[in-house]
Amino acid sequence: MKNYSKILIISIFLYIFSIANCFADFNWKKIGSNIKGNVFYVDTSSLKKVGNNVFYFVMNDYAKPSKYGDLSSKIYMEVNCINLDHRYLKDFYYLEPMGNGEPSTILDEVGKWEITKKGSIGESIRKFACKYK
């Protein structure tokens, strides 16, 4: 009986530790939401400026599951802070909210440069990233 108690206590400790560490490397700042109800966050600890460009992670917490069943994504972005053009560098999709769990899909392909739509949540996110610190 003692061994089962030790195993249970160790299991509970490891579970709590893993939950506490799931965002240990991230510092998410809520930026806002879009008309679909998706909530967007920027990881301020990932923000890196190189010349006129900024690199960072953005997280999208979906209001409803995507057609693939995903509930969230984390995307590593590059933004030109002069005109807010942007491109996706690496995408991680998750079946759990807030980027929890293992990624269901990873896209490791650099996207094409895109123009930021005026008045969009994307514009707010990119302006925040470019003006941070």
At 72, list the tokens: 């969230």
Domain ranges of the chain: 25-131
Tell whether pTM > 0.85.
no
3-state DSSP helix/strand/coil percent for the chain, to nearest 5?
30, 35, 35
pLDDT digits (tens, 9 = 90+) for 65-124: 999 999 999 999 999 999 999 999 999 999 999 999 999 999 999 999 999 999 999 999
Type of residue at 109? E
25-131 domain in CATH 2.20.70.10?
no
